[in-house]
């Protein structure tokens, strides 16, 4: 054993993800097709939203050989076209042909974390079909650039096979066309669900899906209101680890710890930086570049012990807000009643987050029982529902009896968590971890929308009660009037119309007198 | 002799009209009408020492047409008043069963007869009148025989007279007899007997002549029309009432209900003859007359023990006889006298017991 030679070879990020494609959602042809569609759509939406462009995204999935009767899995061509800002041609090869391109330390809410998903889809397509990806983009409207790209997996480098430019038609946008082995038959349901749910949280987007049979599924725009794009922020000290700290030091040009702290972290100024360094027992004037490993570890530990840092602010977040969430719910679920609850910003481990919860009750779309729709940074989460913190909250933490909601009521609960870092449990981005802060906010928001529903049902119930009462009065009071008129030997029926909630018009009274005489 | 039957009818019509006017006036003022009457819940049935009968206490039911749960029975109650008002006006009668079906013509259907019976009792309370007064009679009927001339008031028979000794089987105490006027009688007492067989024996043995008595077959626990008849005979003709029953606890209780009323009719005070006398058969008679007897069953004993706690049974012969029944644990039927000859009961027992009763 001791003599056994173990070979350590450095592998590139591309290769790492190729070897671990299960983690990124490319475990089989059905899942891969769904993930590819999703990653490309999300990149398009992110780009549009950042520039406050009302998104129009068209996704076409077709068999590579349209006439092939071959059973799935087989090669499919996925084309995603948007009306976004376009990409500067100088950045196109790296943006699409390299994993972790643009890795940066500034944080802001976006769907994709590292721009990695799109590249993974391209990588997967290249591996399964050896076809290049075609990117057509225009960022100024004047010129349209076309690229054919492949990835050198071992070197993690783009290979440009073709680069052309034509005159543009004045509009900006990007179109990505990639070929990959997929199983549409098995992925169709998820892809459909994905678009439906996507339409729910991006009601301001116009989404169109064209399936391999050429059928068009349009999701029209329901509102032109868009959420404010998030601002970029520095990392918050609570979210930092030793490695990240070291990278920040390397990037920084500051020569004293106090200046480094107050220029590299979110909501840390010279005053808090000095307080912290005093707490940590470090010399504020020490050059951060001269920190030893041990000193760095001690300093990072002190960061996590220090309670003087301010909570992160939420300017880097882009919640939907009540209006857009409500519009999305009404557009896609057409409920009888909808409610929303937007929680104030909160934070976990230095990452700010906002929880938004919507509720839909009744209508024709929902079927009896509770259906949970989960979203994180506007991404629909379709897999592993039972492992998600939202599921745990609604199934275990809510005392449903309190809200007097009839059993089997058709109910949709929409949870949206937005954060600079969503606490996914896995790289597959499908379910959220049970962070106590997150759980608390979800619980409060769900309770809030249930209270609103409860109030609505109560009001509706009492209105129905009034209606029912008037019906019953309407049935019996005329009988009582008739019998008592006879008993009392009265000459005309009593004027009791007011008891039925109406005033007798002279004509109505005349009619009744005639009826009795 | 005063015409009580027609007087009573006029009184009922007056009461029904007043009830109708109350409801009508409320409706006309756009107020939800309501009717208030005593509650019949067990807690509200109390024993009145002075009256020596069960009466209803002070808690009452407010039935409002505004209350969704009340408006249906309220309508039914007003309908019933309307319905019986017609009956009384037209001189017709109805039965409990009949009322149940009649409602269906008016959109105030009852779910079952229990429900309509309840509403009839409600109306008894609202008017403080027995249902016989508003022409609703029970199905079961008992009989009367003796020298009493009556005059019918029912339509078609008005003014027609009849002597109740004309037919040896006796006459059913039904609606027409209940509403008839009493014209003339030579009777000096009323004998109420529990059983049809003994009633027939009394007629055959001319008890009505020998004792100058009107004989009534109560057919077990007397129906209210019979109790009402007893009350009238006592009140209008001044006749004393004597009760002859089997020698068991049930017989004793038949006598008690005639004298002190029942808990079921606690809302009515015109059904009792408090001066009536139970002449037998007592437990002591079973011993004294050496009557053939049967052992009391478990149920008989239980019933006797229950009655011992009943406030109506305090003092007098009532406790004494119950105690004796419990002691001898035997019971005898009226027919047991036949052991000593068919006329033994009328020749020997009855004269002795009536003499005894008069002395009480």
Considering the domain architecture, whether residues B255 and B114 belong to the same structural domain is answered as no
Q: Is residue B169 part of a domain?
A: no
Considering only the beta carbons, identify the residue of A468, A472, A481 that sits closest to B27: A481
Boundary-marking domain end, from B80, B111, B137: B137
Partner residue facing B21 (CB), from A483, A488, A497: A488
Contact at CB, A490 and B24, closer than 8 angstroms:
yes
**CB–CB of B123/B76 below 8 Å?**
no
Residue A158 near residue A99 (C-beta atoms within 8 A): no
Say which DSSP state A127 is in. Answer: H
Give B 250-309 residues with CB within 8 A of chain A: none
| Chain A hits for B25, Cβ within 8 Å | 488, 494
**CATH number for the domain including B103?**
1.10.10.10
CA distance B333 to B346: 15
- Quote the domain boundaries for residue B127: 4-137
Contact B20 A469 (CB under 8 A): no
Nearest-Cα distance to chain B for A485, in Å, is 6
Structural domain contains residue B99:
yes
Q: What is the pLDDT of residue A106?
A: 59
Under the banding of pLDDT at 50, 70 and 90, the label for residue B17 is very high
**Both B208 and B331 in a single domain?**
yes
Domain match, B197 and B93 both: no
Same domain, B101 and B215: no
Catalytic residues of B: 101
Pick the last residue of a domain from B97, B122, B137: B137
Q: Do B209 and B317 share a structural domain?
A: yes
Using the CB atoms, write b or e for A61-70: b if 16+ within 10 Å. Answer: bbbbeeeeee
Residue B198 and residue B97 in one domain? no
User: How many structural domains compose chain B?
Assistant: 2
Mutation choice for B interface testing from A467, A487, A496 by most B CBs within 10 A:
A487
Strand partners, A353: A346, A419
B196 and B258: one domain?
yes
SS3 state at A303: helix
CA dihedral B73, B75, B78, B81 (to 10 degrees): -70
Measured in residues, chain A has a length of 517
State the pLDDT at residue A334.
93
Contacts of B78 in chain A (CB under 8 A): 479-480, 483-484, 487
Would you state the pLDDT for residue B284? 92
- Chain A: residue whose CA lies nearest to B83: A483
The pTM for the full model equals: 0.59
CATH of the domain at B274: 3.40.1360.10
Q: What is the pLDDT along chain A (517 residues), one digit of tens a residue?
A: 444 444 555 667 677 767 777 766 788 899 899 989 998 998 899 889 888 999 999 999 999 887 777 888 899 999 999 999 998 999 888 888 876 654 444 566 777 654 677 888 888 899 889 999 999 999 998 999 999 999 888 888 899 999 999 998 889 999 999 999 999 999 999 999 999 999 999 999 999 999 999 999 999 998 999 988 888 888 888 888 888 888 888 888 888 999 999 998 988 999 999 999 999 988 989 999 888 889 999 999 999 889 888 888 888 888 999 999 999 999 999 999 999 999 988 888 878 899 999 999 998 889 998 999 999 999 899 888 888 899 999 888 888 888 888 878 899 999 999 998 888 887 667 788 888 889 999 999 999 999 999 999 988 888 888 888 888 888 899 999 999 999 999 989 898 888 887 555 555 555 555 555 4
Whether B297 is covered by a domain: the verdict is yes
pLDDT computed for residue B1 by the predictor: 41
| pLDDT digits 0-9 by tens, A169-194 | 889 999 999 999 999 999 999 999 99
Q: Is B78 in Cβ contact with A484 (below 8 Å)?
A: yes
The partner residue sitting opposite A499, judged by closest CB among B30, B75, B107, is B30
Contact check, Cβ <8 Å, A479/B106: yes
Tell me: the pLDDT tens digits for A87-143?
A: 899 988 888 887 665 444 456 677 765 467 788 888 889 988 999 999 999 999 899
| Structural domain includes residue B152 | no
B-chain CB neighbours of A479 within 8 Å are: 75, 78-79, 106-108
Residues of chain A neighbouring B27 (CB-CB closer than 8 A): 477, 480-481, 484, 494-496, 499
CB of B19 less than 8 A from some CB of A: yes
Judgement on whether residues B193 and B268 belong to the same structural domain of the protein: yes
> Within this chain, do residues B133 and B209 fall inside the same structural domain, yes or no?
no
Q: Does any CB of chain A come closer than 8 Å to the CB of residue B20?
A: yes
Does the pLDDT of residue B61 top 60, yes or no?
yes
Q: Let me know if residue B309 belongs to a domain.
A: yes
Q: What is the mean pLDDT of chain B?
A: 89
Pick from A487, A490, A496: CB nearest B85: A487
Instruction: Report how many Cβ contacts below 8 Å link chain A to chain B.
Output: 84
pLDDT for the residue B276: 92
- In a domain? residue B166: no
Residues B107 and B202 occupy one common structural domain: no
A487 and B72 within 8 Å at the Cβ level: the answer is: no
Mutate to test the interface with B, among A469, A471, A475, A476 (most CBs of B within 10 A): A476
Same domain as B201, residue B122: no
Chain-chain contact of A479 with B65 (C-beta, under 8 angstroms): no
Last residue of a domain, one of B137, B154, B175: B137
**In-domain check, residue B178:** no
Distance, CA of A417 to CA of A374 (rounded, Å): 8
Residue A379's alpha-carbon distances to A39, A104, A202, A220, B185, in angstroms, are: 10, 22, 10, 18, 104
**Do residues A441 and A343 touch, judged by C-beta distance below 8 A?**
yes
B154 in any annotated domain:
no
Does B250 lie in the same domain as B130?
no
Q: Could you read off the pLDDT of A372-425 as tens digits, one per residue?
A: 999 999 989 988 888 889 999 988 888 888 888 887 889 999 999 999 888 888
Q: Where are the alpha helices (DSSP H) in A281-345?
A: 293-305, 321-333
pLDDT tier for residue B147 given thresholds of 50, 70 and 90: very high
């Amino acid at each position: 054993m001791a003599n056994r030679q173990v070979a350590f070879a450095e592998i590139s990020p591309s290769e790492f993800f190729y070897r671990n494609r299960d983690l990124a959602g490319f475990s089989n042809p059905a899942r891969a097709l769904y993930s590819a569609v999703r990653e490309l759509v999300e990149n398009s939406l992110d780009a549009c939203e950042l520039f406050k462009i009302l998104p129009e995204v068209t996704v076409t999935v077709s068999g590579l050989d349209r006439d092939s009767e071959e059973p799935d899995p087989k090669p499919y061509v996925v084309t995603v076209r948007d009306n976004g800002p376009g990409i500067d041609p100088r950045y196109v090869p790296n943006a699409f042909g390299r994993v972790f391109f643009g890795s940066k330390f500034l944080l802001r809410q976006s769907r994709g974390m590292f721009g990695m998903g799109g590249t993974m889809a391209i990588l997967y397509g290249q591996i399964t079909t050896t076809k290049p990806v075609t990117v057509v983009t225009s960022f100024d409207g004047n010129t349209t650039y076309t690229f054919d790209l492949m990835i050198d997996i071992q070197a993690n480098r783009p290979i440009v096979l073709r680069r052309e430019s034509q005159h543009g038609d004045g509009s900006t946008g990007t179109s990505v066309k990639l070929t990959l082995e997929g199983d549409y038959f098995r992925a169709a349901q998820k892809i459909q669900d994905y678009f439906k749910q996507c339409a729910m949280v991006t009601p301001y987007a116009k989404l169109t899906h064209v399936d391999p049979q050429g059928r068009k599924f349009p999701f029209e725009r329901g509102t032109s209101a868009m959420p404010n794009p998030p601002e970029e922020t520095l990392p918050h000290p609570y979210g930092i680890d030793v490695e990240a700290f070291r990278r920040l030091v390397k990037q920084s040009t500051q020569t004293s710890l106090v200046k480094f702290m107050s220029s590299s972290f979110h909501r840390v100024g010279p005053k808090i930086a000095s307080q912290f360094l005093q707490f940590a027992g470090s010399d504020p004037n020490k050059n951060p570049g001269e920190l030893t490993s041990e000193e760095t570890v001690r300093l990072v530990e002190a960061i996590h012990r220090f309670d003087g840092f301010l909570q992160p602010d939420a300017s880097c977040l882009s919640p939907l807000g009540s209006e857009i969430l409500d519009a999305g719910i009404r557009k896609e679920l057409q409920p009888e009643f909808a409610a929303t609850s937007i929680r104030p910003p909160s934070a976990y481990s230095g990452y700010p987050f906002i929880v938004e919860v919507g509720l839909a009750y009744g209508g024709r779309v929902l079927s009896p029982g509770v259906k949970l729709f989960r979203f994180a940074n506007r991404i629909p989460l379709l897999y592993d529902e039972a492992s998600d913190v939202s599921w745990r909250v609604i199934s275990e933490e809510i005392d449903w009896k309190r809200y007097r909601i009839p059993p089997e009521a058709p109910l949709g609960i929409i949870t949206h968590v937005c954060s600079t870092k969503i606490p996914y449990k896995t790289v597959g981005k499908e379910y959220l971890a049970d962070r106590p802060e997150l759980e608390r906010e979800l619980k409060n928001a769900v309770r809030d929308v249930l209270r609103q529903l409860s109030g609505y049902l109560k009001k509706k119930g009492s209105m129905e009660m009034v209606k029912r009462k008037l019906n019953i009065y309407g049935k019996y009071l005329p009988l009582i009037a008739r019998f008592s008129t006879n008993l009392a030997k009265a000459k005309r029926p009593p004027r009791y119309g007011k008891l039925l909630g109406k005033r007798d018009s002279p004509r109505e009274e005349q009619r009744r007198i005639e009826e009795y005489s | 002799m005063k015409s009580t039957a027609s007087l009573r009818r006029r009184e009922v019509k007056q009461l029904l009209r007043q009830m109708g006017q109350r409801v009508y006036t409320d409706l006309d003022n756009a107020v939800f009408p309501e009717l208030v009457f005593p509650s019949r819940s067990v807690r509200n049935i109390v024993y009145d020492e002075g009256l020596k009968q069960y009466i209803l206490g002070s808690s009452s039911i407010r039935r409002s047409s505004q209350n969704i749960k009340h408006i249906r029975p309220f309508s039914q109650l007003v309908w019933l008043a309307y319905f019986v008002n017609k009956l009384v006006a037209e001189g017709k009668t109805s039965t409990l069963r009949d009322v149940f079906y009649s409602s269906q013509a008016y959109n105030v259907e009852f779910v079952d007869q229990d429900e309509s019976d309840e509403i009839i009792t409600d109306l008894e309370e609202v008017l403080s009148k027995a249902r016989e007064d508003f022409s609703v009679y029970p199905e079961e009927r008992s009989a009367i025989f003796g020298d009493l001339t009556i005059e019918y008031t029912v339509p078609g028979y008005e003014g027609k007279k009849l002597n109740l000794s004309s037919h040896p089987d006796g006459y059913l105490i039904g609606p027409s007899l209940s509403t008839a006027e009493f014209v003339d009688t030579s009777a000096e007492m009323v004998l109420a007997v529990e059983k049809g067989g003994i009633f027939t024996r009394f007629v055959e043995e001319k008890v009505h002549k020998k004792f100058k008595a009107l004989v009534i077959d109560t057919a077990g626990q007397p129906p209210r029309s019979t109790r009402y008849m007893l009350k009238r005979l006592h009140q209008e003709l001044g006749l004393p009432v004597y009760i002859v029953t089997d020698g068991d606890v049930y017989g004793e209780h038949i006598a008690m209900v005639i004298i002190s009323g029942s808990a079921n009719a606690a809302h009515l005070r015109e059904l009792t003859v408090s001066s009536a006398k139970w002449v037998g058969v007592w437990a002591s008679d079973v011993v004294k007359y050496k009557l053939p007897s049967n052992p009391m069953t478990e149920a008989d004993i239980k019933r006797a023990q229950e009655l011992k706690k009943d406030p109506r049974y305090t003092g007098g012969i009532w406790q004494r006889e119950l105690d004796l029944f419990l002691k001898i644990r035997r019971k005898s039927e009226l027919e047991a006298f036949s052991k000593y000859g068919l006329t033994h009961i009328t020749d020997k027992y009855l004269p002795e017991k009536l003499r005894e009763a008069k002395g009480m």
